[in-house]
Structure 1
Amino acid sequence: MIVRRFLLWARTAPAEARASGAAALASAYLRSGMSDEDRREAETALIALIDDPSPLVRRAIAEEMAASPRTPRNLALGLIAEQGDVAALVLAHSPVLSEADLVDAAAVGDVLAQRAIAMRRCLPASVAAALAEVGCEEALVTLASNRTADIPEFSLERMMERCGDDGALREALLERADLPAGLRQAIAARVSDALAQFVSGCGWLTPERSARLARESTERVAVALAAGGQATDAPAIVEVLRETGRLTPGLMLRSLLSGEPALAEAAFVSLSALPRGRVAALLRDRRGAGLRALCRKAGLSQALEPAFVAAILALNTRGFDAGARRPGLDRGLLADVMLACEAMHGPEADALMALLRRMDSEAAREEARHMANSLADDAALALLVEADPAFLLELASGDLRAAA
């Protein structure tokens, strides 16, 4: 009876009063001890109020009922059929919506609706996949930023295929801990290309110079990702590099000369089609037996064989799997390779030596930068001790306490 009186009153009441009344009715439905008959009438009344001409009424109902598991499903479906913030509020929070409901809403919803779905906690893989296929750029950025969303690997790749030129999406994807190494490499390559185009477009560098810088930047990222990831990361990165035409002998040589041969090893496996165990044995043979045959099997030019053989033998001298002494190219390894190649002649040999000299210059700059930072740190510490001699005693006593 009370609900019927409410509906009669709602026919002539002002919009703001109807909104307040609708919120009160929704709250009573969720929290008060209504009889079964009153609850059925209240549910019918709330569903009827979805057709109220004022959006204030629908907004009031959504605010009260969006997050409740006791919300009637038909009411929730009626609210998400709306556009704008009312539907978004329910789509973002309602626990009564099924995966199928959310997939359908993603397909027909506006930007607000898609973003609301993308920000749901523990978003299921099926809904994430649907958004990856049909979502707008804003929704994809929101989805990528949702750390609780279960996004399949193929959906992450699809997001990059559709909107990979969007910087916000690339940044959000790179911050995900579950991003596959191959896709991380693809994003890094796209970022490098975008920067190169921007720099050359501004006239700051020639297109050739900016392209080289982008390529070298992509190579450094690839080597670091392959070295710091899991065992399956390097092969995945190599496949991405092959598909995009970026798997070059220069990149393989950089991997070896950085003291991080994981990428080069995966590349030899991929290019030679030899079993992984066989390639691993050849690369770790200190005598170097079979290295030239491995290079030829991988399709490397004969002019490059001395460089690769020298790099691999030098790595084995210190321990092939010992890891890099510090990030970046190793000047000691570079010196061994340049010595092995300096007597070579011909256009390919000249190009190889030019590449090695550029790498040596890069390594020298990095070494100088590291030394300058170290000297600056020492100078800053000396000034601090000079200003406060007690600091040194305090530091020493702290070290002694830590040792104890």
Structure 2
Amino acid sequence: MLFKGVGVLGFHEYHTLSQSAHSEQRGQAARIAARAYLEHMGPTDEQAALYAAVLSFLDDSSVKVRAALAYELLRSPNAPRPVMFALAQDEPIIAAAVVQFSPVLLDSDLVALARKGTDKIAEAILARPHIGQRVCHILVQEQSRTVDEMLLQRHDIALPYDMLIELADRWCDDAPMRGTLLNRPDLPIAARFLLTERIVDALLGARIVRGSIQKKRLNRLMRDQLDKATTGLVAGDSTQEHFRYLDALYQSDRLTPRLLINSVVNGRLRFYVTALAMLAELPANKTEGILRAGTRRALHALFTRCGFEPSLRNLMARLTILARDAYLETDVAARHFVVSQLIGVLIDDHDGDIPDSLDSVFAYLNEQNVSLAREAARGVMASFCDEADHSASIHISHLRDERLALPAA
């Protein structure tokens, strides 16, 4: 019988080697038996004897011997599965290597190993080239940060929607894990929203941020950024995931008029269309058609189906019409113009007495008007000064000398 690196070794010599008192020699015998079994092409009784020899080394008291057996069988697709399954439950140094590298272990084996294994075994499972979703479910149930992080870093594994939502909910308060979650391209929109909310909370709680910006302004800035992030999560063609996300916003009272106005003002048409389609229980393409070209009556009918009260219906109809010809996604000046026009129309419609039902919306529009005006104005004067003729100057008659009203001025 011929062995690579060993040559011809008689069965009697092999038997003597396998019965040695020295673990190094028994380990050599284990490797010989394993290699002989993998390469055997002779009689069936000889193969059966070799298989029995391989099995016998599982009972050896020396970790070195069992490790030698595992080393020889580790990467072979022809290794006996019962032997590899047994080795996968051996000492951690052996088990982890077998679990990570043995191609003969089935997903069912990995499920069983994951259920009673340690973090080290879970990490070994996650280092395998391919892992089934059943195994992933078992691993997630352990609620180990290390294991969850390794799983999330495997972008080649398609994780189910519910699992990703669960992981986002579990680790939303852990900053590094938020980053790991947000790096996944398949992270559901609802999970991204949850993580974004937590990021805003973390920023609001950071001393360096709280110490740099006045509290009311900071809260307004964070709210505006969260609104933009919330509406920006719906892009491209409407999908079932978009509808699930918007339904979750609606059920949690987050799909507010303010958010709908924000989506229009910032040119987030897909969010606006999908939200209204969900509320009105209409197809997205029909809803989009009404918003793009429908008459005022058609718009009012759409908003009535959405459950908007009359004053809000009128406001949203006017906003929609104003926004039709503006490039709101990219043009800050256009956003400022639309919001300014809408405020003017509201004041005219109600003779300056804004209804109670629109108080919060009107206050929001005023805030947005100021914010957009400031954003649109940035750099305008500097550019004008750069381009002005050197002889040009600013003419004023005088500066007030009274300081009583504004002592700090």
Common topology (TM > 0.5) = yes
CA pair 229-223 structure 1, distance change in 2 beyond 3 A? farther
User: What residue in structure 2 maps to residue 385 of structure 1?
Assistant: none
User: What residue in structure 1 maps to residue 344 of structure 2?
Assistant: 339
**1:356 and 2:365 equivalent?**
yes
> In structure 2, what is the Cα distance between the partners aligned to 1:85 and 1:210?
53
Residues 268-316 of structure 1: CA deviation (Å, up to 9, x unaligned): 2223334545533432235322333433443345444444222200222
Q: Match for 2:157 among 111, 126, 149?
A: 149
8 Å CA contact 1:141, 1:168 repeated in 2: no
User: What residue in structure 2 maps to residue 103 of structure 1?
Assistant: 111
Q: Which amino acid aligns with 1:334?
A: V
Q: Match for 1:330 among 332, 335, 340?
A: 335
User: What residue in structure 2 maps to residue 139 of structure 1?
Assistant: 147
Number of equivalenced pairs: 368
> In structure 2, what is the Cα distance between the partners aligned to 1:159 and 1:337?
42
User: What residue in structure 1 maps to residue 389 of structure 2?
Assistant: none
**1:239 and 2:247 equivalent?**
yes
User: What residue in structure 2 maps to residue 269 of structure 1?
Assistant: 277
> Is the partner of 1:89 in helix, strand or coil?
helix
**Mean Cα displacement is larger for which, 326-335 or 213-222?**
326-335
CA pair 168-311 structure 1, distance change in 2 beyond 3 A? same
CA pair 226-328 structure 1, distance change in 2 beyond 3 A? farther
User: What residue in structure 2 maps to residue 309 of structure 1?
Assistant: 317
> Is the partner of 1:227 in helix, strand or coil?
coil
8 Å CA contact 2:237, 2:270 repeated in 1: no
> In structure 1, what is the Cα distance between the partners aligned to 2:113 and 2:185?
28
Residues 112-140 of structure 1: CA deviation (Å, up to 9, x unaligned): 11122233223222222332334522212
The structural deviation recorded for 1:355 is 1.5
User: What residue in structure 2 maps to residue 393 of structure 1?
Assistant: none
The structural deviation recorded for 1:146 is 1.1
Q: Which amino acid aligns with 1:351?
A: S
CA pair 80-315 structure 1, distance change in 2 beyond 3 A? same
Please show how residues 108-123 of structure 1 align to structure 2 within 5 Å.
Answer: 108-123=116-131
The structural deviation recorded for 1:13 is 1.0
The structural deviation recorded for 1:91 is 1.9
> In structure 1, what is the Cα distance between the partners aligned to 2:33 and 2:244?
57
> In structure 1, what is the Cα distance between the partners aligned to 2:14 and 2:217?
76
> In structure 2, what is the Cα distance between the partners aligned to 1:255 and 1:109?
48
Q: Match for 1:7 among 1, 18, 26?
A: 18
**Mean Cα displacement is larger for which, 285-294 or 208-217?**
208-217
> In structure 2, what is the Cα distance between the partners aligned to 1:85 and 1:345?
77
Structure (1/2) with the larger helix percentage:
1
> Is the partner of 1:247 in helix, strand or coil?
coil
CA pair 305-345 structure 1, distance change in 2 beyond 3 A? farther
**Mean Cα displacement is larger for which, 187-196 or 148-157?**
187-196
User: What residue in structure 2 maps to residue 183 of structure 1?
Assistant: 191
> In structure 2, what is the Cα distance between the partners aligned to 1:363 and 1:53?
76
User: What residue in structure 1 maps to residue 302 of structure 2?
Assistant: 294
CA pair 313-220 structure 1, distance change in 2 beyond 3 A? same
**Mean Cα displacement is larger for which, 300-309 or 248-257?**
300-309
CA pair 27-295 structure 1, distance change in 2 beyond 3 A? same
Structure-2-length-normalised TM-score: 0.75
Q: Which amino acid aligns with 1:250?
A: R
CA pair 70-365 structure 1, distance change in 2 beyond 3 A? farther
The structural deviation recorded for 1:256 is 0.6
Structure-1-length-normalised TM-score: 0.76
8 Å CA contact 2:204, 2:210 repeated in 1: no
Please show how residues 217-228 of structure 1 align to structure 2 within 5 Å.
Answer: 217-228=225-236
> In structure 2, what is the Cα distance between the partners aligned to 1:47 and 1:285?
77
> Is the partner of 2:254 in helix, strand or coil?
coil
Alignment gaps of 5+ in structure 1? 376-404
> In structure 2, what is the Cα distance between the partners aligned to 1:326 and 1:47?
74
Q: Match for 1:129 among 131, 137, 161?
A: 137
> In structure 1, what is the Cα distance between the partners aligned to 2:192 and 2:237?
11
The alignment's C-alpha RMSD in Å is 3.7
The structural deviation recorded for 1:111 is 0.5
> In structure 2, what is the Cα distance between the partners aligned to 1:242 and 1:25?
66
8 Å CA contact 1:118, 1:131 repeated in 2: no
8 Å CA contact 2:19, 2:26 repeated in 1: no
Q: Which amino acid aligns with 1:325?
A: T
Larger radius of gyration: 2
User: What residue in structure 2 maps to residue 171 of structure 1?
Assistant: 179
Please show how residues 10-159 of structure 1 align to structure 2 within 5 Å.
Answer: 12-14=21-23, 18-19=26-27, 22-23=30-31, 25-31=33-39, 36-82=44-90, 84-159=92-167
Q: Which amino acid aligns with 2:153?
A: S
8 Å CA contact 1:329, 1:363 repeated in 2: no
**Mean Cα displacement is larger for which, 94-103 or 263-272?**
263-272
User: What residue in structure 1 maps to residue 393 of structure 2?
Assistant: none
> In structure 2, what is the Cα distance between the partners aligned to 1:160 and 1:47?
45
User: What residue in structure 2 maps to residue 380 of structure 1?
Assistant: none
